[in-house]
């Protein structure tokens, strides 16, 4: 388009000249061609086209004229451009005219250009017109213009390494910033394609890296024992992403060196529960590289903070732990595990993530009220408060752990334990009976443990006016004691709370200001909420805890142990921390020191320890003659892996269904609920098959018989058994569950009861729990409305970590007729505690028919008929029973003494019989006469299936046959409910 414009411009110039001169132009070559003075061009190597800026165009004033008359253009040779001429030596370019009339031309490469040989070319160029006349004489040439042409590169070459192989040697145990440098070059001419942009180690998984400049360094300390030499393959890339034509091999040799360290240390040590003590470093020794030393000190730390409350401890209830540690009676647990008898902690969030450590969480909104009468603390007597606490950073508000305050009106705090600004504070106000003078009222301890977010055990021994505090077994004295007057006399009852303080909205708080976080509860509220975790909160009245009990409560069940060999006992000193989670070893003899380290072991005395990792760390300091640390021994780190223990399966078994007479329920002794209870605990192990037996049986090729599962009975303690009522709660007016308290006391067990059942607690053997449970009796002195009662027994170990099966027992009541009672109650229905509508009951299984269905008084004729018919039916049933008895004896031998509950098909008969009592309870002759009279009276009849009769016969066992027949005859009654009169 530019050339066309030039042509139009030349035509216009000719036309204007023609019009101005008004004559025909003379054919004379007056003017020289004109071109630019400088041109810049670009050409790509291996291409011939040059791009010029500006384009190559020559202009000449002798260009053709345009006549005004006809607007025709007359071409003249003088105005045309005939060529361009390049000046210079060995210039690989030529200039070509594309259009003579417009003077347009181009520059082209005459041969293949190579940037690597010459990047730039500079030369001059001139334009020539066609001259005068037909032979082109007198042609004129333009001035010389300078042309600069740059040859652009293409990425035709790949990087090449300067060396065929690179080698280096390093010393083990050292990290280098620069081990060696590899270098590659590229033959391309341009900066982009000739530069090496990156290097790469092609060999995978080697502890080395290489940077963009080719420097290689190691990423970790190298060990001669692990690898003597590393062989790396390295490649390079130019900035055009061309990879090196050949990769290069780099050899890095590791030179061994002596460095002080613990040798023979195994990072992982597996501990199998129940195996006692396990040596942690059996083959370890210290390498000092022959440096003369004067002393060695090593600290071994076992990290167990993530296990339970800081380590593996027994997870029995806190009350049981106090007894196991030797504390006497009087201990009251304020944060027990929720149960039917201790339900005030049910609403608290718990953390049972550490094998049933009973940990309660308080987030600043929860608190509990302790039931009235549970704690009777007389401040005149010594008492102890102990608690496990984990508390975070302190706040400016009071956070109450335990508080005893007025229920109404006054808002006085009688005593409380709270945290404030990383201080533990005990408030203890004296009774009004004291003299009106100042006495110690607040005891302050400033402790880092209060706010470090770790578990700590706190014990306060209070013997007014002194208070002793033990934190993790270490005694602390209060840094400040504040005095106050005694409280004013009042008859206001107090409320004991955990996690906050109870105070009235309308009253005045003499001891504290209510914080912003309160919760309304009627006209009262909670204030000063605790934020953190609490466990094992105990108050013990009347006696202080001694140091032995305190240490026992805090001591871990796991820790480090060492048995010093006699020959080195005097040369090495060993010190333990209180919970044996760390120890220090000091000595100056390397040989003796190594022997002591080899005897350090891990011990976990729990029968069922918490599985998981316990990290180990050994920190060592070595001193030389100048008493400085001359040898740097790196810390050795590893861990103990406590394997999963075989979990026990606690099984309860025994008689789960039996019947007793109403008289037994109403007797002074009552009915034994678990007469044949058995408690068995088993674990299941996988045992490898015997190699010799496998070879004999030819089972080597069968993978399915390599292991066998074996169930093994074990003995361990229980800590709780709970008997609960299934169905309606116990009615205290006429029924109860009882157990001999003296037998409990002999076995150091305790019992709590409610209308839901009873709970026996305390750590003791399964055999002792069996004996106590055999003594539990159920009494009911108003059995008219009772036909069966169901109970459930559950036992547990380690505060609920292992729980037995639900053992359920159903007891049926056998109602018998009494003629005296019938006479007295002839015109009225039985008077039950709770009126019950009596309907016919199916006789399947062990359900019993209501004996009081007929409430209408029969006539004399009816009685005679019933007596006669009853006698006849009795004779028929007696014969059938004798036949069945012979068969039943053989069945009893096959069933090994178990109850046979086969139902007898009596569909052809229209009679039912009373359920027979177990033959463990034989009737006296007076009872037999009463039963005959009741049968003749006919007012109260009970039904029983033949299977139940046979079952009762089985229970009798050793009774003579004639007595069996007599007993059956006495217990058979006629069911006249279907007769019409």
Residue 187: closest CA among 253, 244, 124: 244
Residue 876 within any structural domain of the chain: no
3-state secondary structure of 937: helix
| Rounded Cα–Cα distance for residues 388 and 538 (Å) | 10
Main-chain dihedrals φ then ψ at residue 846, nearest 5 degrees: -115, 10
Cis peptide before 876 (omega within 30 of 0): no
Which pair of structure tokens corresponds to residue 598?
A: 């080899």
Mean pLDDT score, 190-198: 81
Question: In CATH, what number is assigned to the domain containing residue 569?
Answer: 2.60.40
Residue 927 within any structural domain of the chain: no
| DSSP codes joined into one string, 802-842 | EE---EEEEEEEE----HHHHHHTTTS----SS--------
pTM of the model: 0.56
One domain, residues 388 and 535: yes
Residue pLDDT, tens place only, 213-233: 999 999 998 888 888 899 999
411: which residues sit within 8 A by CB, 6+ positions away?
Answer: 405, 503, 504, 507, 508, 509, 510
pLDDT of residue 417: 94
Choosing from 613, 642, 671, the residue where a domain stops is 642
Q: Confidence band (pLDDT; 50, 70, 90) for 534? A: very high
Q: Tally the domains of the chain.
A: 5
One domain, residues 637 and 659: no
Q: Are 377 and 539 in contact (CB under 8 A)?
A: yes
Name the residue with higher pLDDT: 915 or 126: 126
One domain, residues 43 and 91: yes
Taking each helix axis from N to C end, the angle separating 946-956 and 860-894, rounded to the nearest 10 degrees, works out to 60
Residue 131: closest CA among 63, 75, 64, 77: 77
3-class SS string, 591-616? HHHHHHHHCEEEEECCCCCCCEEEEE
* Start-to-end CA span in the chain (Å): 136
Burial class of 809 by CB neighbour count within 10 A (0 to 12, 13 to 18, 19+): buried
Q: Confidence band (pLDDT; 50, 70, 90) for 546? A: confident
Query: Residue ranges of the alpha helices (H) in 479-607?
Result: 547-554, 590-598
One domain, residues 675 and 635: no
Choosing from 255, 278, 293, the residue where a domain stops is 255
Residue 938 within any structural domain of the chain: no
Main-chain dihedrals φ then ψ at residue 498, nearest 5 degrees: -125, 130
Q: Provide the Cα torsion 191, 194, 195, 201; round to 10°.
A: 160
| Rounded Cα–Cα distance for residues 843 and 850 (Å) | 11
CA separation, residue 857 to residues 120, 203, 679, 854, 974 (Å): 138, 107, 51, 8, 16
Q: Confidence band (pLDDT; 50, 70, 90) for 733? A: confident
Q: Confidence band (pLDDT; 50, 70, 90) for 960? A: very low
| Rounded Cα–Cα distance for residues 539 and 491 (Å) | 24
Residue 348 within any structural domain of the chain: yes
Q: Provide the Cα torsion 159, 162, 168, 173; round to 10°.
A: -30
Mean pLDDT score, 252-279: 89
Least-confidence region, from 317-331, 415-429, 607-621: 317-331
Mean pLDDT score, 945-952: 36
One domain, residues 129 and 93: yes
Residue pLDDT, tens place only, 449-487: 999 888 999 999 988 888 999 999 899 998 888 877 667
One domain, residues 564 and 545: no
pLDDT of residue 439: 79
Q: Confidence band (pLDDT; 50, 70, 90) for 135? A: low
Check pLDDT > 90 for residue 775. yes
Q: How many whole angstroms from its chain centre is CA 2?
A: 81
Residue 924 within any structural domain of the chain: no
One domain, residues 120 and 208: no
Choosing from 554, 570, 591, the residue where a domain stops is 554
Residue 887: closest CA among 967, 946, 827: 946
One domain, residues 415 and 496: yes
pLDDT of residue 238: 87
One domain, residues 186 and 42: no
Question: In CATH, what number is assigned to the domain containing residue 121?
Answer: 2.60.40.60
Average pLDDT, the chain: 76
Q: Are 784 and 830 in contact (CB under 8 A)?
A: yes
Which pair of structure tokens corresponds to residue 86?
A: 């390049």
959: which residues sit within 8 A by CB, 6+ positions away?
Answer: 919, 922, 967
Residue pLDDT, tens place only, 829-851: 333 333 333 333 333 333 333 33
Least-confidence region, from 51-55, 681-685, 977-981: 977-981
Residue 550 within any structural domain of the chain: yes
Q: Provide the Cα torsion 758, 761, 767, 771; round to 10°.
A: -40
Question: In CATH, what number is assigned to the domain containing residue 491?
Answer: 2.60.120.200
Q: Confidence band (pLDDT; 50, 70, 90) for 155? A: confident
pLDDT of residue 585: 93
Check pLDDT > 80 for residue 946. no
Name the residue with higher pLDDT: 186 or 831: 186
Q: Are 486 and 464 in contact (CB under 8 A)?
A: no
Which residue(s) pair with 812 in the sheet?
Answer: 659, 788
Q: Which domain holds residue 459?
A: 318-504+525-554
CA separation, residue 110 to residues 38, 90, 470 (Å): 21, 11, 102
One domain, residues 330 and 429: yes
Q: Confidence band (pLDDT; 50, 70, 90) for 379? A: low
Residue 340 within any structural domain of the chain: yes
| DSSP codes joined into one string, 183-232 | -EE---SSHHHHSEEEEEE-SSS-SEEE-TT-EEEESS---TTT-SEEEE
pLDDT of residue 885: 60
Q: Confidence band (pLDDT; 50, 70, 90) for 71? A: very low
Residue pLDDT, tens place only, 777-807: 999 988 888 888 999 999 998 888 889 999 9
Q: Are 605 and 561 in contact (CB under 8 A)?
A: no
One domain, residues 406 and 475: yes
Which residue(s) pair with 791 in the sheet?
Answer: 725, 809
Residue pLDDT, tens place only, 886-903: 555 545 444 443 333 333
Residue 842 within any structural domain of the chain: no
Q: Confidence band (pLDDT; 50, 70, 90) for 107? A: confident
Least-confidence region, from 40-44, 119-123, 870-874: 870-874
Residue 119: closest CA among 147, 153, 92: 153
One domain, residues 341 and 300: no
741: which residues sit within 8 A by CB, 6+ positions away?
Answer: 751
Q: Are 308 and 354 in contact (CB under 8 A)?
A: yes
Length of the chain in terms of residues written: 981
905: which residues sit within 8 A by CB, 6+ positions away?
Answer: none
| Rounded Cα–Cα distance for residues 319 and 329 (Å) | 10
């Amino acid at each position: 388009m530019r050339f066309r414009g030039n042509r139009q411009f030349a035509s216009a110039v000719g036309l204007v000249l023609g019009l101005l001169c008004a004559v025909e132009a003379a054919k004379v070559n007056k003017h020289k061609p004109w071109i630019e003075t400088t041109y810049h061009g670009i050409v790509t190597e291996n291409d011939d086209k040059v791009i010029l800026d500006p384009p190559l165009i020559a202009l000449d004033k002798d260009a053709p004229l345009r006549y005004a008359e006809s607007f025709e253009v007359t071409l003249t040779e003088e105005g045309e451009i005939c060529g361009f001429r390049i000046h210079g030596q060995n210039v690989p370019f030529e200039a070509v005219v594309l259009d003579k009339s417009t003077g347009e031309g181009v520059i082209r490469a005459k041969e293949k250009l190579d940037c690597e040989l010459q990047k730039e070319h500079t030369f001059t160029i001139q334009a020539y017109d066609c001259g005068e006349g037909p032979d082109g004489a007198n042609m004129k040439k333009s001035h010389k213009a300078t042309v600069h042409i740059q040859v652009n590169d293409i990425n035709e070459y790949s990087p090449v390494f300067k060396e065929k192989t690179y080698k280096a040697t390093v010393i083990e145990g050292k990290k280098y910033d620069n081990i060696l440098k590899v270098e590659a070059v590229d033959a391309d001419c341009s900066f982009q394609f000739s530069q090496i942009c990156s290097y790469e180690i092609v060999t995978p998984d080697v502890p080395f890296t290489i940077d963009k400049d080719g420097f290689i360094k190691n990423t970790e300390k190298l060990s001669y024992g692990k690898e003597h030499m590393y062989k790396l393959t390295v490649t390079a890339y130019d900035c055009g992403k061309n990879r090196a034509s050949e990769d290069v091999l780099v050899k890095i040799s590791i030179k061994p060196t002596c460095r002080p360290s613990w040798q023979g240390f195994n990072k992982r040590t597996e501990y199998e529960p129940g195996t006692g003590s396990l040596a942690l470093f059996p083959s370890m020794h210290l390498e000092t590289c022959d440096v003369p030393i004067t002393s060695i000190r090593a600290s071994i730390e076992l990290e167990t903070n993530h296990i339970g409350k800081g380590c593996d401890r027994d997870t029995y209830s806190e009350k049981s732990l106090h007894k196991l540690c030797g504390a006497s009676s009087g201990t009251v647990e304020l944060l027990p595990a929720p149960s039917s008898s201790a339900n005030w902690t049910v609403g608290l969030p718990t953390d049972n993530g550490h094998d049933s450590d009973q940990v309660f969480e308080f987030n600043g909104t929860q608190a509990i009220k302790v039931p009235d009468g549970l704690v009777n603390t007389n401040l005149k007597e010594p008492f102890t408060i102990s608690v496990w606490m984990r508390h975070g950073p302190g706040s400016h508000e009071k956070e109450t752990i335990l508080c005893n305050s007025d229920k109404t009106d006054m808002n006085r705090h009688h005593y409380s334990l709270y945290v404030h600004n990383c201080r533990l504070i005990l408030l203890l106000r004296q009774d009004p009976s004291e003299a009106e003078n100042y006495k110690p009222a607040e005891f302050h301890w400033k402790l880092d443990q209060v706010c470090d977010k770790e578990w700590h055990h706190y014990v306060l021994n209070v013997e007014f006016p002194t208070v002793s505090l033990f934190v993790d077994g270490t005694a602390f004295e209060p840094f400040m004691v504040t005095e106050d007057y005694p409280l004013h006399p009042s008859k206001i009852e107090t409320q004991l709370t955990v996690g906050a303080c109870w105070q009235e909205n309308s009253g005045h708080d003499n001891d504290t200001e209510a914080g912003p976080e309160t919760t309304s509860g009627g006209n009262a509220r909670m204030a000063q909420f605790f934020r953190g975790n609490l466990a094992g909160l105990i108050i013990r009245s009347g006696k202080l805890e001694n140091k032995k009990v305190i240490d026992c409560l805090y001591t871990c069940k796991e820790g480090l142990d060492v048995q010093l060999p006699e020959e080195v006992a005097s040369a090495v000193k060993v010190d333990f921390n209180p919970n044996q989670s760390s120890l220090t070893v000091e000595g100056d003899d390397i040989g003796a020191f190594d022997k002591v380290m080899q005897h350090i072991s891990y011990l976990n005395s729990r029968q069922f320890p918490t599985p998981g990792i316990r990290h180990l760390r050994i920190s060592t300091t070595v001193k030389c003659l100048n008493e400085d640390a001359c040898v740097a021994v790196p810390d050795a780190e590893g861990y103990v892996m406590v394997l999963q223990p075989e979990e026990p399966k606690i099984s309860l078994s025994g008689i789960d269904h039996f019947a007793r007479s109403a008289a037994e329920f109403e007797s002074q002794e009552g009915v034994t609920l678990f007469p044949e209870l058995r408690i068995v605990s088993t674990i299941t192990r996988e045992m490898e098959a015997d190699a010799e037996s496998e070879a004999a049986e030819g089972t080597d090729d069968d993978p399915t018989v390599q292991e066998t599962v074996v169930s093994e009975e074990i003995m361990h303690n229980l800590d709780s058994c709970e008997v609960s009522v299934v169905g309606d709660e116990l009615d205290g007016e006429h029924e109860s569950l009882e157990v001999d308290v003296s037998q409990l006391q002999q076995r150091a067990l305790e019992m709590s009861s409610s209308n839901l059942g009873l709970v026996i607690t305390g750590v003791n053997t399964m055999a002792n729990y069996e004996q106590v449970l055999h003594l539990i009796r159920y009494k009911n002195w108003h059995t008219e409305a009772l036909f069966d009662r169901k109970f459930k027994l559950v036992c547990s170990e380690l505060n609920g970590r292992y729980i037995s099966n639900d053992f359920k027992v159903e007891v049926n009541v056998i109602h018998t007729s009494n003629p005296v009672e019938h006479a007295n109650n002839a015109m009225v229905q039985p008077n039950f505690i709770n009126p019950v509508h009596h309907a016919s009951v199916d006789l399947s299984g062990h359900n019993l028919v209501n004996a009081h269905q007929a409430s209408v008084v029969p006539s004399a004729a009816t009685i005679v008929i019933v007596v006669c018919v009853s006698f006849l039916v009795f004779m028929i049933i007696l014969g059938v029973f004798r036949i069945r008895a012979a068969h039943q004896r053989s069945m009893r031998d096959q069933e090994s003494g178990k109850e046979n509950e086969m139902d007898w098909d009596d569909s052809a008969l229209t009679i039912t019989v009373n359920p027979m009592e177990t033959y463990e309870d034989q009737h006296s002759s007076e009872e037999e006469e009463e039963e005959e009279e009741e049968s003749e009276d006919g007012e109260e009849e009970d039904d029983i299936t033949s299977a139940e009769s046979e079952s009762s016969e089985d229970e009798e066992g050793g009774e003579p046959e004639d007595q069996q027949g007599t007993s059956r005859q006495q217990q058979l009654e006629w069911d006249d409910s279907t007769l019409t009169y």
